[in-house]
Amino acid sequence: MPVCTRRCLPDAFDTLGPDGPFAAQVPGFKPRQGQREMARKIEQVIASDSVLIAESGTGTGKTLAYVVPALLSGRKVIISTGTRNLQDQLFHRDIAQARRLLGRSVQCAMLKGRENYLCLHRLKQATAANDSSRARELQLLKDWAAATRSGDRAESSDVAEDSPVWMDVTSNADNCLGGECPDYERCFVNQARREALDADVLVVNHYLFFADLNLRMEGFAQLLPGADAVIFDEAHRLPETASDYFGSLISGNQIAELCHDTRDEELKERSGVEGLLLQGRRLEKLVRDMRLIFREKPGRFSWQACTGSEAFNDLLEQLENELGVYAGLLKEAAPRGEGLASCWRRAEEIQARLRDIAQDDAATIRWVELTRRSFLFRMTPMEVADSVRESLVASGKALVFTSATLTVGGTFDHFQQQMGLDSAQLAQWDSPFDYQKQSMLFIPENMPDPRDRGFVEAFSKLVKSVLQVTRGRAFVLFTSYRNMHEVEARLSGQLDYPLFVQGRMSRSHLLDAFRGEPNAVLFGTSSFWEGVDVQGEALSCVIIDKLPFESPGDPVLKARCTALEKQGVNPFMQYMVPRAVIALRQGAGRLIRDNQDKGLLVLADRRLKTTRYGDVFLRSLPPMRRVDDLAPVQAWFGA
């Protein structure tokens, strides 16, 4: 194997080549030119502290294309993934395998947000509360705490992933006692952070990375300064994550938790401050009242719309006043113990944020998010490009942004503008799949406009006839729950194949059930458009109802579009279309996952053919053979 003379080590290109350890030791591994080139490019970027945006089509093998140069680089590299599941997969599978094959002792670690680790202090508190309904789970957690090395809840199989008990035994930045904690030395969160700081290659997720970058939430700002390079996989998600984390929020739950924790501390410390507990109850009632006045189902509302209501303004004012009183009482109680002092600091912080949200500021979008039981007051930056430039690009580290879907209509402009990465190097590796042979794109003639009343009925008929041809084996991806349920109701009892519908069981169970049944059909909304990998015949068809435009009534989208309009930019073409293109590419990307896969993509939205922006979508899809009639589809499947 050729050897790099500079470091006397094989380079990433050769490591992934026909004479490298992967080809020699991994059954079925085939060297791929795109993967090797990408690995070489990333190796250069890491060595030269440059910035790279790289799109790498499905099947290129991009994970190894960045893992191998990261492990070989001899530098400190952070790899950030889109979700915690991907983080686990990358760390336990890809990195573990690559490290073994490379035979190099590179120190690797994984770090998640603190809510993923068991908090020993809160476990003790929850146990001391003697609640018989949770006694069994708490005992299981105590046993597990004694056995686990990491305290990572993903490794605990005895207590269900979605059990409410986790809320009581994990910490957040508000209630962690930090250095004052009696369990500080054994704390799993701190142990994970220490390992993260010592690691050569550290795996995080985007949420943690940006929380850390913004010095909020995690209260731990040491990740980036210690690294030489950061590689972001699933980078198409970054504008959204950055938006969330460069903003701020106050939630009803935060206030309720503060009152709950204050009560616990007061019962323990007995500060004797008159009215403290009563004031907490008053605040809790205000929080409940605030949710109740909305009446609406969960959703997103502009701040302006909310402050148009007198009842909302009254409650907001009361909340500010009562929080002020509470903070004053907590200040008196604080000298009794660190727990109460921490509650006082939290009350002051919430008060300050409440004051911020009352300020009108053109750079910030203020809005309200309603969950089923609570509310969040949110402040989201109008744009994140400047913040990314200042906090990330200006750091001078090597940065790699990669995903299978970064371009729109063949250019990176949209991603670059959103992220402030104007001077980055750009690279693109196409998928090695033969889309002309492996796939077919069916855009039916004569479908009504998706905004017309008759659309759902026509779409239901279309789904039924397509499924007969493909014999099930399909994902039907919807842009709304309403459409999904309506189509389900119309097709009830009419399909000859097992039907799985989102919402009936957890996402992972639904996927397992789909994989376990031949000829199954799955109906899903946005969470099935991304990060789902079903290879082989089980998934031979993806049907999409509409172009995935976001709701124009969304307060954040609306505010951004208005701001663009004021700058003379066409918000629809420059903002909404590109975002919908990325989403469509993700949805369509579920179809062909392997070079043996064969599949049909059905797009039922006639606007692809009747509007001028339809072409941007079509140019952004892989080069599939296009038909507008079911006959060639029948012939193709028959063959």
Number of alpha carbons in the 13 Å side-chain half-sphere of residue 184: 7
Q: Single out the residue of 242, 238, 535 nearest to residue 402, CA to CA.
A: 238
Of residues 177, 330, 370, 424, which one binds ligand SF4 by CB under 6 A?
177
Q: Return the range that interacts with ligand SF4 (CB under 6 A); candidates 134-142, 176-184, 299-307, 596-604.
A: 176-184
Report in angstroms how near the CB of residue 167 gets to ligand SF4 at its nearest: 14
CA distance 585 to 418: 18
Cα angle, residue 359 at apex, residues 356 and 361 outer, rounded to 5°: 105
Of residues 86, 165, 189, 543, which one binds ligand SF4 by CB under 6 A?
189
Number of residues this chain uses to bind ligand SF4 (CB under 6 A): 14
Of residues 4, 9, 29, 184, which one binds ligand SF4 by CB under 6 A?
184
Q: Return the range that interacts with ligand SF4 (CB under 6 A); candidates 29-37, 178-186, 335-343, 461-469.
A: 178-186
Residue number, 151 or 450, with CB nearest to ligand SF4: 151
CA distance 475 to 602: 10
Report in angstroms how near the CB of residue 330 gets to ligand SF4 at its nearest: 19
Residue number, 109 or 126, with CB nearest to ligand SF4: 126
Residue number, 119 or 165, with CB nearest to ligand SF4: 119
Report in angstroms how near the CB of residue 255 gets to ligand SF4 at its nearest: 20
CA distance 208 to 202: 12
159 close to 136: Cβ distance less than 8 angstroms: no
Of residues 108, 181, 456, 581, which one binds ligand SF4 by CB under 6 A?
181
Of residues 115, 174, 183, 332, which one binds ligand SF4 by CB under 6 A?
183
Q: Per rule CB under 6 A, is residue 29 in the interface with ligand SF4?
A: no
Report in angstroms how near the CB of residue 279 gets to ligand SF4 at its nearest: 25
- Across the beta sheet with 375-381, the strand order is 248-251, 375-381, 364-370, 299-302
Backbone angles phi, psi at 448, to 5 degrees: -70, 165
User: How many CB atoms sit inside 10 A of residue 24's CB?
Assistant: 11
192 close to 40: Cβ distance less than 8 angstroms: no
The binding track of 124-163 with respect to ligand SF4, each residue x by CB under 6 A or -, is ----------------------------------------
Of residues 176, 230, 447, 576, which one binds ligand SF4 by CB under 6 A?
176
434 close to 440: Cβ distance less than 8 angstroms: no
Q: Per rule CB under 6 A, is residue 294 in the interface with ligand SF4?
A: no
Report in angstroms how near the CB of residue 244 gets to ligand SF4 at its nearest: 23
Q: Which amino acid is at 483?
A: N
Longest dimension (CA), the chain: 82
26 close to 94: Cβ distance less than 8 angstroms: no
Q: Return the range that interacts with ligand SF4 (CB under 6 A); candidates 169-177, 333-341, 502-510, 522-530.
A: 169-177
Residue number, 343 or 499, with CB nearest to ligand SF4: 343
Number of alpha carbons in the 13 Å side-chain half-sphere of residue 395: 18
- Between the alpha carbon of residue 128 and those of residues 133, 160, 281, 616, the distances in Å are 13, 22, 22, 61
Residue number, 184 or 497, with CB nearest to ligand SF4: 184
Residue number, 99 or 142, with CB nearest to ligand SF4: 142
Q: Per rule CB under 6 A, is residue 171 in the interface with ligand SF4?
A: yes
Q: Per rule CB under 6 A, is residue 187 in the interface with ligand SF4?
A: yes
Cross-strand partners of 369: 300, 376
Q: Return the range that interacts with ligand SF4 (CB under 6 A); candidates 186-194, 371-379, 429-437, 514-522.
A: 186-194
Q: Return the range that interacts with ligand SF4 (CB under 6 A); candidates 177-185, 351-359, 360-368, 385-393.
A: 177-185
What residues between 84 and 123 interact with ligand SF4 by CB under 6 A? Answer: 119-122
What secondary structure, in 3-state letters, does 109-166 show? EECCCHHHECCHHHHHHHHHCCCHHHHHHHHHHHHHHHHCCCCEHHHCCCCCCCCCHH
Sign of CA dihedral 356, 358, 362, 364: positive
Report in angstroms how near the CB of residue 160 gets to ligand SF4 at its nearest: 22
> What are the residues binding ligand SF4 (CB under 6 A)?
119-122, 171, 176-178, 181, 183-184, 187, 189-190
